[in-house]
Structure 1
Amino acid sequence: MEVGSPLSIQVVSDGRAGIENQALGLAEAIQRLVPADISIKRIRWRPMFDRLPSALKTEAMLDPGSDAPFPSPTEPWPDLWIATGRATLPLSVAVRQRSGGRTFVVQTQDPRSNPSRFDMVVAPAHDGLSGDAVFEIIGSPHRITPDRIAAAAVAFAERLDPLPHPRVAVLIGGRSAAFDLTPAHAIGLADDIAAAIAAAGGSLMLTFSRRTPSEARRIMTERLSILPGLIWDETGENPLFAFLQSADHILVTEDSANMATEAASTGKPVRILPMVPRKPSGKFARLHADLEAHGATRPFDGDLTPWTYVPLNETARAARAVLEAMAAR
């Protein structure tokens, strides 16, 4: 990095929003602290090579539709490389070697390999990762900021502003390795949510994730449509950020570290909705214990009494740690 020039940051992922937003959120948090230019690279491997161990993958195995991850011989290496997800691991290791140390390499999430292969790993505390290169945070980095959600709410103001208080944002996940949302559970969950909002005289703002099973989505939409509010039907812009801004309370299913962490960054009361466990998941139990200890979350029990806490701001804390580590090196 030349003196007086902006920090050059390259964000790398497989392009899935939930994955990319972790690296991009950290990059944007750094950009709020120092002048920086951010570029985004989306990569994927050819199907025949995708499941190979990272150590065996080479750049030639990337899908032709991928962005070129490394600069051309005439281009400079970025000052900072921030990558997220399994697909990026061999590229992160390679850029650290090829750049000759000119690029500071940060990996978010647990890379499930030796953290010393990277300059820094910004890892969720609930993963239990340790090492000199590891910086632990509660949950995952994300892009939620007060300014961002306030700006997003403008486009939905006409539909959300007339809704009665308390306004309850409900963020529904779905099937994963650890959890499921069965039709029977969707019925019970919807009825419990409807009863709580009706008792409070409030309104509903509901959005689903890509992992929500279609039958669970249908059931919950049908049963919750009796409430005043807005249920996103997946047409047009996702109102998630607007919901977070407009909400008095947030309900989020326990299966998503990203959704829970984002909700806790708002400073609004967050209640955790139970899912159907598919297998024991100690890491999710640790995450929810951390969020509850911070004061951000409580289990959903039908009560919508508010409380206050200091908004969770782990992305900014990680951003400061990255800059300090770069300066120290």
Structure 2
Amino acid sequence: MNAVPNQALPAQPLSVWVLDEGRRGHLNQSLGLLDALARHVEVRSEVVPARYVVPGWLRTVVRTAVIRSRDIPDGLIRRCYRDLRLPSGRPDIVISSGGRSVPLALWLRQRFACRQVYLGEVRPYPTRLFDVLLTPVAQPGAAHVVPTELLVTRVTPHDFDLARNATRATFGVGENECTAAILIGGASRSHVFRDSDWRELANGINATRAQYGWRWLLTTSPRTGPGVEALLQASIDPGALSNAVWWGEQPHSVVRQYLAAADVVYVTSDSLTMVSEAVASGKPTVAVRPHKIRHSAYVEDALGAAADNRRILPVTCDGLPASAGSLETLRPLTQAPGDRYAGALLDLLPSG
């Protein structure tokens, strides 16, 4: 199939296809950008399931072929994505996040002469492959890159303007009672949590209750694990908690409710998604890390930029009590950053 030159965007409505390669965090980034686009222009959207079935040992081969090819074969895409079914019509814009979506996104651009927009970690692909790249990591000299505040999310500060008091009442929190939320992840490739880290975290929750009268809204996650949950339950004073969700016992998501109710949000920085949602909520955000960190350029660059912009306050697990006196140094968001991203995206894509 011969590649077709990209066409200018048509008059509204825009047809936008969002690729879902199966990871919730990646899909939420794409949907966050779609939400913002829809606040600027009229869109017709489709979510396209893209189940990537290439085994690990072959992925480098496929990636190399995609990078070098000017004409990605239809057969390669059909073999890489099981049961691929495309919507009717043609897209004007294809949005995706996650490396598994890249071969399909580039092939769709080739087939339909549409514009391709990618969010997040671009490596190991070169930035030149994408029409527009949205990323929190600086890309010097790349005019088609839109810098983002951490990851793009569906959360905005305005989501919680009217929900605060009602949500606090749900958790038994007084109107003037200082309430902190803590969103707990767990071990990752970059974050090495030890039992001593979790004990320090628990001690910090107890200390802020004793010193400042704070009450906490706590949730663990699928990454936390039953052993860590048991340690935290044994170490945290129940009187310090207004509400707790232990994922291993009764899994259900309360992140949005906690973001609405909290005055300040603490989040373990193993999950860029959780940190990004906390920052996007407009609440002062403290990113909590273990003492041992393995090098990860993307995670370090993203969190470092957020700290430099005073969107997050980074602390180790023993730093909760001291952090309470530094919250005023933060600059929480007051406007939805997605609106800025959507505007920059439309400026980069020529209109018809």
Q: Which moved more, 1:46-55 or 1:274-283?
A: 46-55
What are structure 2's unaligned runs of at least 5 residues?
1-8, 67-75
Structure 1 residues 12 and 149: CA distance shift in structure 2, 3 A: farther
Structure 1 residues 228 and 277: CA distance shift in structure 2, 3 A: closer
What are structure 1's unaligned runs of at least 5 residues?
none
More RCO (CA 8 Å, sep 6+): 2
**Residue 298 of structure 1 pairs with residue 313 of structure 2:** yes
Aligned partner of residue 243 in structure 2, secondary structure: strand
**Residue 287 of structure 1 pairs with residue 310 of structure 2:** no
Aligned partner of residue 191 in structure 1, secondary structure: helix
Aligned partner of residue 317 in structure 1, secondary structure: helix
**Residue 266 of structure 1 pairs with residue 281 of structure 2:** yes
TM normalised by structure 1 equals 0.85
Q: Check conservation: 1:13, 1:85, Cα contact below 8 A.
A: no
Shift of residue 10 of structure 1? 1.3
Structure 1 residues 130 and 123: CA distance shift in structure 2, 3 A: farther
CA distance in 1, matches of 2:15, 2:182: 37
Q: Check conservation: 1:268, 1:296, Cα contact below 8 A.
A: no
Structure 1 residues 260 and 130: CA distance shift in structure 2, 3 A: farther
Q: Which amino acid aligns with 1:309?
A: R
Partner of 2:183: 171
Partner of 1:317: 340
CA distance in 2, matches of 1:44, 1:151: 39
1:81-230 map, 5 Å:
81-99=94-112, 101=113, 103-112=114-123, 113-125=125-137, 128=139, 131-149=142-160, 156=167, 158-163=169-174, 165-224=177-236, 226=238, 227-230=240-243
CA distance in 1, matches of 2:275, 2:301: 13
Structure 1 residues 155 and 287: CA distance shift in structure 2, 3 A: same
RMSD after superposition? 2.8
Structure 1 residues 232 and 82: CA distance shift in structure 2, 3 A: same
Aligned partner of residue 174 in structure 1, secondary structure: coil
TM normalised by structure 2 equals 0.80
Structure 1 residues 104 and 248: CA distance shift in structure 2, 3 A: same
Structure 1 residues 298 and 61: CA distance shift in structure 2, 3 A: closer
Partner of 1:62: 81
Q: Which amino acid aligns with 2:331?
A: Y
Q: Which amino acid aligns with 1:293?
A: D
Q: Check conservation: 1:244, 1:250, Cα contact below 8 A.
A: yes
CA distance in 2, matches of 1:2, 1:282: 38
Q: Check conservation: 2:187, 2:223, Cα contact below 8 A.
A: yes
**Residue 21 of structure 1 pairs with residue 28 of structure 2:** yes
Query: How many residues end up aligned between the 2 structures?
Result: 319
Aligned-residue identity in percent? 23
Partner of 1:8: 15
CA distance in 2, matches of 1:154, 1:201: 19
Q: Which amino acid aligns with 1:187?
A: R
CA distance in 2, matches of 1:177, 1:48: 20
CA distance in 2, matches of 1:37, 1:85: 22
Aligned partner of residue 350 in structure 2, secondary structure: helix
